[in-house]
Amino acid sequence: MISYLYIIILLIEVINTSTYLLPASKCPREDSLRKCLDQHIKGTVNYRDDFFSYNTDLNVEYNQRIIYFPVAFVRPIDVIDVQNTIKCGAKLNYPIVARSGGHSSESYSLGDRDCYLVIDLITLNEVTVDITSQTAIIGTGNTLNPLYYAINQYEFAFPGGLCPHVGVGGHIMGGGMGLIARRFGYASDSILDAQIVLANGTVVNNVKEHPELLWAIRGAGNAGYGIVTSLTLRIYPIPKTVAYHSFTYDMNQIPSLISVINQLGYNLHQNLTFATAIFESQVHVNGIYLGPVDELQLHMQEFIKLSKPKSVSYIEDDLYNVILYDSGSASNHSDFKIKSFYIDSTGLSDEGVNYLMKFVERFKCKIGVDFSLIGGGVDKFRRNETAYVHRGFLYHLKLKAFTPTEECLQDLGMFSQNFQRKYTSYESYQNHIDRQLDNWQCRYYGENFGRLVEIKRKYDPYNLFRWNQSISTNTRISCY
């Protein structure tokens, strides 16, 4: 007999996690797929009738605004499991997606509708650091945190994102904007090699032997070329102690603050990267400098003089602790919509700033605005040198609406179209993927899109790895 204590524990587990009403009907050929996976997979496979395990897998998704119901979640324990999952899916015509952290802004790590086959790479989580060659090999089931922690022990850094709980696979291969990018470029710029399982089930252990495939995964590796199981990354020696700054401003100072960033930002020292965050009537400029506080203060003297912050604070620590300090607590999931814009080297005009802030003031849902300073090391690469095309911009602008209603989503969409047409570049960041974005192929990949399609046709001719914003084999779109 099941004890009352056990029942209480189960009820608490249900209460403390989101649960979903699963579809009653089966997916096509589901029994055949299940038989194939059960026969060939050594790792865990969670099907829809595994209620608690399956719902736990759904709860991994960071954006709970969109939830689909895959036919199964496969957690491979090795590359052979990945191969066999791909073979089972291909045989029965199931589209396949990889999940590395579950942080897709549109939940594409579940596919783009029900009945996808998800390969969750969470168990492929080794990290190997070689300080002699200044490289790290990392399994794509990791989040950024284990990578940052491991290399920090040797006083090395990697130019990834600020949030340490983001999965490495999609983040790094989709560009990987981060707070030391102005020194070392984006995360995708530091990919040296990879292991990838292709649509035909074969393993490429050294992608560098296939230069066109290496080129593609450095900016579009999360767009459907195969299941990348590990990445070899360039890591960089840095000072043991770095500096962190935080400046605060009043809302009425935003126009003058952006004007100062436009004026000084491109010429600021490459060791310094910062972002301006506007949220709930609070304005912060937070950044990291690869060096001590006294050097940072010298570099920021003019910025402070011109922008007149209400408060100024500095911290010295190692980079790992500084990132943890600035990233805040990790949220398991949220409900949001993101819009992305790149601002050219002259910066956002006064008219553009006013247009943006009037929208923020009247917007009926909670919204955050982030200006991330770029340039520097990001622009050491030409636009066609890797698949990541967005070079030569002063900063990236992100709008993030929280728990948006349908009315807010429509309002955000209309504003974004007008704002991008009038005040920003044509391009948007593929890691802040947006299913409503028009002509996304050219906005995400620019003139590199045609080459990406050719490489897709070579390595995944039957479009096994697909969703509605992956690189397709049959597109007729030209971005020249």
Whether 471 is covered by a domain: the verdict is no
Give me the chain's average pLDDT, please. Answer: 94
Same domain for 229 and 194, yes or no, is: yes
Cα angle: 414, vertex 418, 421; to 5 degrees: 140
Same domain for 434 and 453, yes or no, is: no
Same domain for 273 and 337, yes or no, is: yes
Weakest mean pLDDT among 15-19, 170-174, 436-440 = 15-19
Same domain for 306 and 427, yes or no, is: yes
Is the per-residue pLDDT at 9 higher than 50?
no
How many other CB atoms are found less than 10 A from the CB of residue 128? 12
Same domain for 234 and 246, yes or no, is: no
* Dist. CA 11–CA 30, nearest whole Å: 29
Q: What percent of the chain has pLDDT over 90?
A: 91
Owning domain of residue 327: 242-442
Mean pLDDT of 440-461: 98
Mean pLDDT of 407-434: 98
Query: Reduced to 3 states, what is the DSSP secondary structure of residue 355?
Result: helix
Is the per-residue pLDDT at 333 higher than 80?
no
* Dist. CA 362–CA 354, nearest whole Å: 12
CATH number at residue 310: 3.40.462.20
Q: Which of 336, 149, 123, 130 is nearest to 230 (CA)?
A: 123
Give the neighbor-by-neighbor strand order of the sheet with 366-373: 311-317, 242-249, 282-289, 272-279, 366-373, 393-402, 336-344
Which has more confidence, 67 or 21? 67
Whether 466 is covered by a domain: the verdict is no
Same domain for 430 and 323, yes or no, is: yes
pLDDT score, position 326? 74
* Dist. CA 89–CA 370, nearest whole Å: 40
Whether 278 is covered by a domain: the verdict is yes
24 pLDDT band, cuts 50/70/90, is confident
CATH number at residue 204: 3.30.465.10
Residue pair 283/249 in contact (Cβ under 8 Å)? The answer is: yes
Whether 467 is covered by a domain: the verdict is no
Whether 196 is covered by a domain: the verdict is yes
Weakest mean pLDDT among 162-166, 204-208, 345-349 = 162-166
Same domain for 139 and 91, yes or no, is: no
Mean pLDDT of 275-303: 97
In the block, tokens 């996808």 appear at 116
Distance, C-alpha 161 to centroid of its chain: 8
116 pLDDT band, cuts 50/70/90, is very high
Domain boundary among 98, 120, 142: 120
Residue 474 burial (CB < 10 Å; 0-12/13-18/19+)?
A: exposed
DSSP 381-444: S-TTTSS----SEEEEEEEEEES--HHHHHHHHHHHHHHHHHHS-S---TTS--TT-TTHHHHH
Mean pLDDT of 10-38: 78
Q: Is 308 left (phi over 0), alpha (psi -120 to 50) or beta?
A: left
Is the per-residue pLDDT at 16 higher than 90?
no
Is the per-residue pLDDT at 13 higher than 70?
no
pLDDT score, position 17? 52
In the block, tokens 């930002």 appear at 265
Which has more confidence, 397 or 20? 397
Domain count, the chain: 3
Same domain for 77 and 109, yes or no, is: yes
Domain boundary among 120, 144, 170: 120
179 pLDDT band, cuts 50/70/90, is confident
Q: Which of 355, 371, 243, 359 is nearest to 307 (CA)?
A: 371
Residue pair 316/293 in contact (Cβ under 8 Å)? The answer is: yes
Digit-coded pLDDT (tens) for 69-101: 999 999 999 999 999 999 999 999 999 999 999
Is the per-residue pLDDT at 4 higher than 60?
no
Domain boundary among 95, 120, 145: 120
Joined together, the tokens standing for residue 136 give 């790290």
Whether 72 is covered by a domain: the verdict is yes
Q: Is 280 left (phi over 0), alpha (psi -120 to 50) or beta?
A: left
Helix H or strand E segment including 195: strand 191-197
Is the per-residue pLDDT at 12 higher than 70?
no
pLDDT score, position 11? 40
* Dist. CA 158–CA 40, nearest whole Å: 37
pLDDT score, position 23? 83
Whether 225 is covered by a domain: the verdict is yes
Same domain for 153 and 215, yes or no, is: yes
Same domain for 232 and 308, yes or no, is: no
In the block, tokens 């997979």 appear at 41
Whether 349 is covered by a domain: the verdict is yes
* Dist. CA 101–CA 89, nearest whole Å: 21
Residues 6+ apart with CB under 8 A from 317: 241, 242, 244, 325
Same domain for 211 and 260, yes or no, is: no
221 pLDDT band, cuts 50/70/90, is very high
Same domain for 22 and 149, yes or no, is: no
